[in-house]
Structure 1
Amino acid sequence: DADSLPLIVADNEGLFQKEGISVKLVRFSSAIERDSALQAGKIDGAVTDVLAVVLANQGGFPLKITSLTNGRYGVAVSPKSNIQSMKELEGKNIAVSLNTIIHYFADWSAREAGLKADSLNLVPVPKMPVRLEMLLSDQIPAAVMPEPFLTTAKLRGAKILVSSDDSGLEAGVLAFPPSVIAKNADTLKRFYRAYWNAAQRINAQPDQYRNMLIESLSFPDEAARVFVFPRYVKPRLPVQTSIETAAQWLLSKALIKALPKTADLVDASMVTGW
């Protein structure tokens, strides 16, 4: 997703090197592979989400959120659908990946629209290309998807009812184990300076980075041409209520046994003293 783009720009344009650090970006095709590598110590940190951090800590693997990122998720409806609002999805089938940030965003969006809990009929469709094709062929009226699938769906006639850009959801984060933070405090601050430098370059001239969407993030050509870049913000932590709401949701789904202390999930040292 586009939340990884500042890292790729920093790498490609030598911004990490200018800060005197060596960073290796490792790509994974699934969150499970990423989390397994993190817990095995094969990577030092990850672009992830609040839910994954809570789950890792509950599972006995300490992990700290060091900042938010700027990814995008959205609810799209079939090109043949007349649905105009989230409220009209009550009782309708919606394709998601269960117990993930996508599932959480579906429930979040329903609640924000004034719908009751479990008012959506969530259908598990784990593979994103299958979910997209089911939506476009009208096999299912709606789907929750990340980029670049969201932009691709819109290009092919789907309507985006809501996206995380305008919902206020704080979910995507950068996270590191406490042991990595303790051993690499200065390196991580340099890392973040390079990250923010890259983000500002994208903000200033986003069109210059469309080819990078294709080459480094595997965006389809058609989606890269019209993709609306997020406005990258200076690294900051999610507000406490964002973390608490995500944890409450996990508890309601019996995915965790107890609510964590928010202070145990964050490390503010990377985003202070700028």
Structure 2
Amino acid sequence: MKIKKILIGILILTMVFTVGCTGSKAPEQEQQQETVTEEPKNLSLKVGLMPAVDAAPMLIAEKKGYFRELGLDVELIVFNNAQDRQSALQTNSIDGAMTDLIAVATNVNGGFDIRATTITSGMFPVLVKEGYTEKKDIKVAMMEVSVTNFLIDEWLGNDYNIEKVFINEIPARLEMIKSGNVDMGLFPEPMASMGALGGLEKRIYDPEDGYCPDVLGFTSKALTEKAEAIKLFHEAYDKAVEDINKDESIAREILIEKLALKPEIKDSMILPKYIKASLPDNAYLEKIISWVEDVLKKDMNIKPEQLVERKFVE
């Protein structure tokens, strides 16, 4: 009987010891599991905007908090000229920017890798002096290797004999039309409407292929390191486009507010039909490359797929 009691006591002690050892390992295992976590994703972006109607969806996405809802930290920076925007892109001070396919093509051909991720909805009225008398031979003010030059060829090339006058600065171009030194000029909206306040008349043309060459582009560095953030950026962009298409007045209001425009042009601004993130087909990209080759008078060793990154719109 005494031996039986001893055996029972040993059995109880063994059970207690086993439970104690099992319990002591659980926190260790739990701690190890907690330390195995994924590297945090970089969900911050700096994006350059230009003072154009294309900017409206991004400005609305910021104002309505669509970026924040998706966990994005987005800084939008407005550049007043293409040169400052280009410098910011090349120094990686910004991840991406509003630009155009002509600029993308020349950048890629020059060795700077930037890809268009979506077309944006630009609007480019042609301005003439009020009371302008039609004639076959005209002088047109524009930038040289630019979307303005491309669109002038596309819209006016068949109807006029064009002498191109290359003037980079928009105020100088406007003055040339007002003074009668050139007959026409092409300007991004709402800069065109600002010019119309000074007595110029707007003429509207539709893109031949249904595309405007304006795009949103990101550097190869950003596309590699911040792909998830760029994907979410496009989601917020699409949401803002839906809002504009329900009530375009919000686009007019945000452009007046954020671009410091004169309130008088709010209702006269010509807005495009804003569309969700998308990219043109390769035939259109080939057309862009061919046009740039003609202007630069040299072959460009680039292919359409080098100009775009389609994964954010597919």
TM-score range, shorter chain: 0.7 to 0.9
1:62–1:259 Cα change, 3 Å:
same
Greater CA deviation, 165-174 or 227-236?
165-174
Match of 1:186 in 2: 228
Greater CA deviation, 63-72 or 149-158?
149-158
Q: 2:309 aligns with which of 264, 267, 272?
A: 267
Matches within 5 A, 1:102-121: 102-111=148-157, 113=158, 119-121=161-163
Q: Output the CA distance in 1 between the equivalents of 2:226 and 2:167.
A: 39
- Secondary structure at 1:23's aligned position in 2? strand
Matches within 5 A, 1:1-274: 1-83=52-134, 88=135, 90-111=136-157, 113=158, 119-154=161-196, 158-164=200-206, 168-254=210-296, 257-272=299-314
Which one has the largest radius of gyration?
2
- Secondary structure at 2:311's aligned position in 1? helix
Deviation per CA, 1:134-188, whole angstroms, max 9, x where unpaired?
3234343211111113223445554434435677343000111233222222221
Alpha-carbon shift at residue 215 of structure 1 (Å): 1.9
Aligned length: 263
Say which structure, 1 or 2, has more relative contact order (CA 8 Å, 6+ apart). 1
Deviation per CA, 1:185-225, whole angstroms, max 9, x where unpaired?
22211111111111111121121343322221232222223
> After TM superposition, what 4+ stretches of structure 1 lie above 6 angstroms from structure 2?
none
Deviation per CA, 1:13-65, whole angstroms, max 9, x where unpaired?
11100111111111212111111111111110111000111111111111111
Alpha-carbon shift at residue 124 of structure 1 (Å): 2.1
Q: Output the CA distance in 2 between the equivalents of 1:165 and 1:220.
A: 27
Gaps of 5+ in 1: none
Q: Match for 2:148: what amino acid?
A: I
Question: How many percent identity over aligned positions?
Answer: 28
Deviation per CA, 1:64-103, whole angstroms, max 9, x where unpaired?
11110001112222112132xxxx4x42111112221111
Q: Output the CA distance in 1 between the equivalents of 2:292 and 2:242.
A: 34
Greater CA deviation, 2-11 or 99-108?
99-108
Gaps of 5+ in 2: 1-51
- Secondary structure at 2:187's aligned position in 1? strand
Alpha-carbon shift at residue 236 of structure 1 (Å): 0.5
